[in-house]
Amino acid sequence: MRRFALLLASTTFVAPALAADAIVYEEPPAPMAPVAVVAPASGWTGLYVGGHAGYAYTDGSSVQNFFITIPGTPGAPGRAAIPPMGEIAVGTPVAYSYGCGVDAATPACTLSVNGQVVADGLSRDELRDAVVALGAPADVDVGGTEGAGTATTVTVIPATPGRPAIAAVPAVPPRTVRAEDLGYSRFAEEDDGFVGGVHVGYDQEFGSVGSSTLVLGVVGDISYVDIERSFGFTNGVDTVSAQQELDYLATLRLRAGLAFGSILAYATGGLAVGEVDTTINMFGDAASESDTRLGYSVGGGLDFLVTENLSLGVEYLYTDLGSDDFSRSTLLTDGRQLDFSSDKDFDFHTVWAKASFRFN
C-alpha cells in the first residue's frame, strides 16, 4: 500500500515536468500571392502616330552677289581739220551746138552740150537765153539753122571758216564693280522660332545585335516652322536687301536604330520639302516670289516606351532645302545697273520633343 502511494505521488509530480518539455509544431503561414508588376513592353514593331513641337534655328545667312554694272560707251570716229578758205570762182569750159528748123519762125531748135541734148523744142529766143546761160556773150548769133560755140560756166565756191580736227573716241566696255567698292557694307539677320506638327511612321524589329535589337523604320511628318532670315547691303542711306521665310516643312525619312529594351536610339535621313517666300527690296521697291524647294534632312533621336502603346522622344534634324537662285536688277537714272542675287542654300536646324501612340 505504501509502495502504491509513492508511485502515485511520483506520477503526479513527473507528468507536469514532461508536459513542459514537449515540442509543439506550428502550421506554416500560407504563401503570399505574387505582386503583379506592369512593365513597359519592349516590342517596337508596329504603326505609330503622334505630334511634335520644339525650336527651329539657323546659323545666319549672307548675300553671295551684289554688283553694280556701269554701262560702256560705243566710242566715236575722229575727223581731220579743214583750214579756212576764201571765196573761189571756178570756170568750166563747155562746147555747145544747136540745130533749128528751116523756117526761122518755127520753134524747133535743139541745144546740145558736150554732145548731149539738153533741151529741144526751143524757140530762137529761148535758144539764145539758154546759150547765154551757158556763159556765151549776150549778143551771140543763133540765127542760122545750125551753129556751135564755146562757153565758160563759172561756179563760185563761197568762203568757209574751216573746222578743227576731232580725235577718235575709243569704245569703253561695260564694267562691273562690287558693292563694297562703292561704300556698301553687308548685313545679315535671322529670326528663330517655333516648330510643331504631326508625324506617322512604322517600325520593324529584326535580329539581335549583341544585347540590343536592330530596328528599321520609315517616318513622315509635316510641320509649321516659324523661321526667317534677311540679308543685304547698305551705305547708311540706301539699302538693298532680301528676306526669306519658310512656310512649312515636310519630310519622308528612313530611320535605323538599336533598341535596348524600352529605349531606342536611332539615326534618320531622307527627303525634305518646304515652301520658301522671298522678298527683294531695292531702294524701297519690293518684289516677292514663292517657290517649293526639295532638299534633305538628316539627324537622330531617342525614343522611350512609357507603356505598351505610348512612347516619348526627342529628335534633332539638320535640313537643307538647297538654293533656288533668285535675282533682281534695276537701272539707275545715271545709266548704271544694279544686280542683286544669291545662291546660298536655305538650311536650318530643328530640335523637338514628341509623343507617339503605337498600335502594337
Domain regions of the chain by residue span = 46-72+175-359, 89-157
pLDDT of residue 183: 76
pLDDT of 351 > 90? The answer is yes
pLDDT of residue 30: 59
The distance in angstroms from the start CA to the end CA of the chain is 94
pLDDT of residue 19: 40
Q: Per CATH, which fold does 46-72+175-359 belong to?
A: Porin (2.40.160)
pLDDT of residue 290: 85
61-111 confidence digits (pLDDT tens): 555 566 667 677 788 888 888 788 777 667 788 899 998 887 656 668 899
- Mean pLDDT for 160-178 is 82
pLDDT of residue 106: 66
pLDDT of 12 > 60? The answer is no
pLDDT of 164 > 50? The answer is yes
- Mean pLDDT for 261-285 is 90
- Mean pLDDT for 258-275 is 96
Dihedrals phi, psi of 4, to nearest 5 degrees: -70, -35
- Residue 299 CA from chain centroid, whole number: 26
**DSSP, residue by residue, 12-79:** HHHHHHHHHTPPPPPPPPPPPPPPP---------EEEEEEEEEEEE------SEEEEEEP-B--B--B
pLDDT of residue 151: 85
Rounded Cα gap, residues 97 and 93, in angstroms: 14
pLDDT of residue 254: 97
pLDDT band for position 31 (cuts 50, 70, 90): low
pLDDT of residue 189: 77
pLDDT of residue 123: 84
pLDDT band for position 46 (cuts 50, 70, 90): very high
276-323 confidence digits (pLDDT tens): 888 888 777 787 888 889 999 999 999 999 999 999 999 999 999 987
Rounded Cα gap, residues 186 and 63, in angstroms: 8
- Mean pLDDT for 219-238 is 87
- Mean pLDDT for 337-359 is 85
Q: Which residue has the higher pLDDT, 52 or 129?
A: 52
C-alpha cell at 261: 529594351
Q: Are 220 and 269 in contact (CB under 8 A)?
A: no
- Residue 192 CA from chain centroid, whole number: 21
pLDDT of 182 > 50? The answer is yes
Provide the b/e sequence for 321-339 (b: ≥16 CB within 10 Å): beebebebeeeeeeeeebe
Averaged pLDDT score across all residues of the chain: 81
- Mean pLDDT for 187-199 is 87
